[in-house]
A and B are shown apart, each in its own frame.
Chain A
Amino acid sequence: MNPATAGPNPVAPLPKGAPKAAPWTPDAPAALQVKGLSKSYGSNTVVCEVTLDVRRGETLCVIGPSGSGKSTLLKCLNLLETPDCGEIWLGETCLTAPRADVDAARSRIGMVFQHFNLFPHMSVERNVTLGLTSVKGMGREQAREIARRRLDQVGLAALADQRPGRLSGGQQQRVAIARALAMEPEVMLFDEATSALDPELVKDVLAVMRDLASGGMTMAVVTHEMGFAREAADRVAFMCDSRLAEIGTPDRIFESAEHPRLRQFLSQIL
């Protein structure tokens, strides 16, 4: 079989309830902490006093209606958006400290975007090696080796020499995941990674994300895929009106939600 035509190779969807390689425990140390984070655009408050943490090995899904501030919150976590106030801690590093090395911190946080944002003027492989050579100072050969490995992980090693424009959306998103993974991040952020995909292409991207989650990667996932949140998340956070309204295990959020807006939201989409 042509590997390029295969689905994501070693990341076939896990059966529901499959055990994790590195199970998350509630008392695991926090990989990412957010304290009292707020962000406004002029008089429009988009994120209001959000406090939460993502524990090591945890998959935290953030759900909520459109415009509730989920994506902005995620972009604040690696300072692509500058918060107005609050603190963000990556392990022992305070990213919001006045003299924090933001570029160095970002290289420790992988991010996958809704619209993939691959670099169209570079090959798939160069997309993956760019951060390794230009940020980590790695040699071209070593970077290529890592890129091939990561592309293989998402089932796309055979397309390494292609331009992103020749790939389908699902493949592009998997390349974007490989690009982020190549940096060996401590935390992965997914910003509605499947929202721009046709339904039949969503499954391969979700399969890769499930595989990462089961492999113990720390992940914060903004998503509208309730099936994924229910199945793969350790905790689910619900945002509405720019605030973190409720957070808990998938069972609690989906089966016995307390917040009336969350119950209303779930009744509309489930």
Chain B
Amino acid sequence: MTLSSPVSLASNALADTFFDWGLIARTFPRLISEGLLNTLTIAAGAIVLGVVIALAATMLLLSNRWWVRLPARIYVDVFRGLPVIITVMLVGVGLPAAGLRPFGTDPFGYAILAIGIISGAYTAEIFRSGVQSVDPGQLQAARSLGLSYLKAMRLVVVPQGIRRVLPAMAGQFIKDIKESSLVYLLGLAVGQRELYFIAQEEVARTYNSSPLIAAGICYLSLTIPMTYLVNYLDKRLREGPRPGNTPTPVDPDLPDTPLQTAGATGREAR
């Protein structure tokens, strides 16, 4: 194969267009100083808002009464079913156009609200499946102590349900970080621009797509550590504190190996 073969030309074009390392290096300072913080702010705000909405929606979705479940079910179905870009436009452009301007003309607030609403719909279904997977005996045991339904759910059932779905939630959080890029549609002001917006600006200025790779590396620097952090948390929560002071299992009534994550239902777990 010669250097001028079609494959070689395509390879060179790809490298020139996306992997101009000099341009990538020049883009990083602005991405890190402005974009990373804004992306983190939008994603963190959306995640917190999404979790709050999801907790409320989950409680409604778990109700025995259909008319209590109905509004939550409509919310979940609509915002899981709509393309993200449409929801971002509906919230970021539609709300102000309808005269609802809780954040004035600041697109940053609408961006967080839009991603948070979408995140809440997905997270509610994750929570619901987690809570419903908890052994019904847990609720019975909590109620038998005299806890009200809400207290039993809050202190016993929901925490267990959420811990069971931590890996799925990590996936959702990663999705929120990535979807924060779509808020560039709302025309963020100077100083509010997130990773993708800045990369797009650099692409338009240099006629080269390499800044997108720089932005991609920044996204990965957020999402990959988050995956491992959540997996670590998941492992710790399943196993409990490190067994530094676990008594030596010399008694046949003590387990040989510390395991058995939860529930302790069924026969002996040793």
Are A115 and B137 in contact (CB-based, < 8 A)?
Answer: yes
Are A107 and B142 in contact (CB-based, < 8 A)?
Answer: no
CB distance from A158 to the nearest CB of B (A): 6
User: Which residue on B lies nearest to A197, using beta carbons?
Assistant: B268
Contact of A119 among B144, B156, B248, B261 (CB under 8 A): B156
Are A179 and B145 in contact (CB-based, < 8 A)?
Answer: yes
Given contacts A103-B146, A131-B147, A135-B145, contact A198 B268 (CB under 8 A): yes
Contact of A169 among B155, B259, B264 (CB under 8 A): B264
Expressed in whole angstroms, the Cα–Cα distance for A110 and B144 within the complex equals: 7
Expressed in whole angstroms, the Cα–Cα distance for A179 and B264 within the complex equals: 16
Q: Which residues of A are found within 8 Å of B148, using beta-carbon distances? A: 103
Given contacts A111-B144, A158-B247, A161-B245, contact A117 B137 (CB under 8 A): yes
Expressed in whole angstroms, the Cα–Cα distance for A130 and B250 within the complex equals: 30
Are B243 and A119 in contact (CB-based, < 8 A)?
Answer: no
Binding site for B on A (CB under 8 A): 2, 4-7, 75, 78, 80, 103-111, 113, 115-121, 123, 130-131, 134-135, 158-159, 161-172, 176, 179-180, 183, 196-198, 200-201, 204
CB distance from A151 to the nearest CB of B (A): 14
Are B264 and A164 in contact (CB-based, < 8 A)?
Answer: yes
Q: Is B29 an interface residue (CB 8 A)?
A: no
Interface centre among B248, B259, B265 (most CB of A within 10 A): B265
Given contacts A80-B140, A165-B240, A166-B240, contact A172 B145 (CB under 8 A): no
User: Which residue on A lies nearest to B156, using beta carbons?
Assistant: A119
* 3 nearest A-B residue pairs (beta carbon): A107-B146, A163-B240, A117-B141
Residue pairs across A and B with Cβ atoms less than 8 A apart, 28 shown, are: A5-B250, A6-B251, A7-B253, A106-B143, A106-B146, A113-B141, A118-B141, A119-B142, A121-B159, A130-B147, A130-B155, A131-B147, A135-B145, A135-B147, A159-B247, A162-B240, A165-B258, A165-B259, A165-B260, A167-B254, A168-B254, A168-B269, A168-B270, A169-B267, A169-B270, A172-B264, A196-B266, A196-B268
Contact of A201 among B145, B243, B253 (CB under 8 A): B253
Are B269 and A169 in contact (CB-based, < 8 A)?
Answer: yes
Are B138 and A117 in contact (CB-based, < 8 A)?
Answer: yes
Q: Which residues of B are found within 8 Å of A204, using beta-carbon distances? A: 253
Contact of B140 among A113, A131, A201 (CB under 8 A): A113
Q: Is B151 an interface residue (CB 8 A)?
A: yes
Known: A135-B145, A201-B253. 14 other contacts (CB 8 A): A75-B140, A105-B146, A106-B144, A117-B140, A119-B156, A130-B145, A130-B155, A134-B147, A135-B146, A165-B258, A166-B255, A171-B253, A196-B266, A196-B268
